[in-house]
Amino acid sequence: MKIVVGISDMKVSNNPEDTLITYSLGSCIGLVVWDPVAKVGGMLHYMLPDASLDKGRAESRPFMFASTGIPLLFKEAYKYGAIKSRMLVKAVGGSQVMDAAEVFNIGKRNYMILRQMLWKNKVMITKEDIGGTVNRTISLHVGTGKTILKVSGRGEFEL
Amino acid sequence: MSRLEEILNLVRDVPPFPKVAQRVLELVENPAVTARQLAEVIQYDQAITANVLKICNASYFGLPRKVSSLDEALVLIGHEALKDIMIASSSAQFYQGNVAAGYQLEQGELWRHSVATAIMAKLLVRHVKDVDAGIAFTAGLLHDIGKRFLSAFVAEDFKNIMGRVVRENIPFEQAEKEALGATHAEIGALVLKRWEFPPEMIMAVKQHHNPDALQQDPLTALVALSNALVVSMGIGAGADGLATSLHGDGIKRFGITQVDLDLHMADLVGEMDRAQELLHLN
pLDDT of B131 above 90: yes
pLDDT classification of B22: cutoffs 50, 70, 90: confident
- Asked if residue A76 lies in contact with residue A43, where contact means CB atoms within 8 angstroms, the answer is no
The helix or strand, by DSSP H or E, that contains position A15, with its residue range, turns out to be none
- Structural domain count, chain A: 1
pLDDT at A76: 98
Q: Do A48 and B266 touch (CB under 8 A)?
A: yes
Collapsing DSSP states into helix, strand and coil, what is residue B167? helix
State whether residue B52 sits within 8 Å of chain A by CB.
no
Cβ contact, residue pair B234, A135, below 8 Å: yes
Put simply, whether B166 touches A (Cβ < 8 Å) is yes
Tell me the residue range of the domain where A122 lies.
Answer: 2-158
Lowest mean pLDDT among A12-16, A27-31, B56-60, B158-162: B56-60
**Contact residues, chain A, for B228 at CB < 8 Å:** 97, 104
Is residue A114 within 8 Å of A124, Cβ to Cβ? Answer: no
- Residue-level pLDDT at B142: 97
pLDDT confidence of residue B73? 86
Subunit contact A26:B231, Cβ cutoff 8 A: yes
Query: Is it the case that residue B80 has pLDDT exceeding 90?
Result: no
Question: Which pLDDT band, with edges at 50, 70 and 90, does B55 fall under?
Answer: confident
- Quote the mean pLDDT of chain B: 92
B235 at the A interface (CB within 8 A)?
yes
Report all structural domains of chain B as residue ranges with CATH numbers, in order of start: 3-16+98-279 (1.10.3210.10)
CB pairs A-B closer than 8 Å:
114
Which of the residues of A are catalytic? 28
What is the CATH number for A95? 3.30.1330.200
| Average pLDDT of the segment spanning B274-278 | 82
What's the pLDDT band for B46 if we cut at 50, 70, 90? Answer: confident
* b/e burial code for range A137-155 (CB count within 10 A of at least 16 → b): bbbbbbeebebebbbbbee
Q: Do B237 and A54 touch (CB under 8 A)?
A: no
Q: What is the ipTM of this complex?
A: 0.96
Q: What are the beta bridge partners of residue B42?
A: none
Residue B262 has a pLDDT of: 97
Per-residue pLDDT band at A113 (split at 50, 70, 90): very high
Interchain contact, B234 vs A27, CB within 8 Å: yes
pLDDT over 80 (residue B18): yes
CB contacts, 8 Å: A104 with chain B? 228-229, 232, 246, 248, 261
The type of residue at B205 is: V
Q: Is the pLDDT of residue B65 over 70?
A: yes
Please give the average per-residue pLDDT across A21-43, as a whole number: 97
Q: How far is A151 from chain B (nearest CA, A)?
A: 9
B15 C-beta neighbours (distance < 10 Å), count:
9
Quick one: pLDDT band at residue B62, thresholds 50, 70, 90? low
| Distance between B149 CA and the closest CA of chain A, angstroms | 21
Query: Would you state the pLDDT for residue B254?
Result: 96
Question: Residue A80 to residues A63, B235, B236, B274: CA-CA distances in angstroms?
Answer: 19, 32, 34, 33
Q: Which of B235, B241, B258 comes nearest A103 by C-beta?
A: B258
What's residue A121's pLDDT? 96
Chain A CA closest to residue B103:
A152
Residues 6+ apart with CB under 8 A from B6: B153
Of B241, B251, B266, the CB nearest to A26: B241
Instruction: Calculate the average pLDDT of chain A.
Output: 97
The answer to whether B100 and B249 have CB atoms below 8 angstroms apart is: no
Tell me how far apart the alpha carbons of residues B204 and B221 are, in angstroms, rounded to a whole number: 8
Q: How far is Cα of residue B166 from the mean position of the Cα atoms in its chain?
A: 27
Question: What mean pLDDT is predicted for residues A20-29?
Answer: 97
Answer for the pair B82, B132: CB distance below 8 angstroms, yes or no: no
A152–chain B Cβ distance below 8 A for any pair:
yes
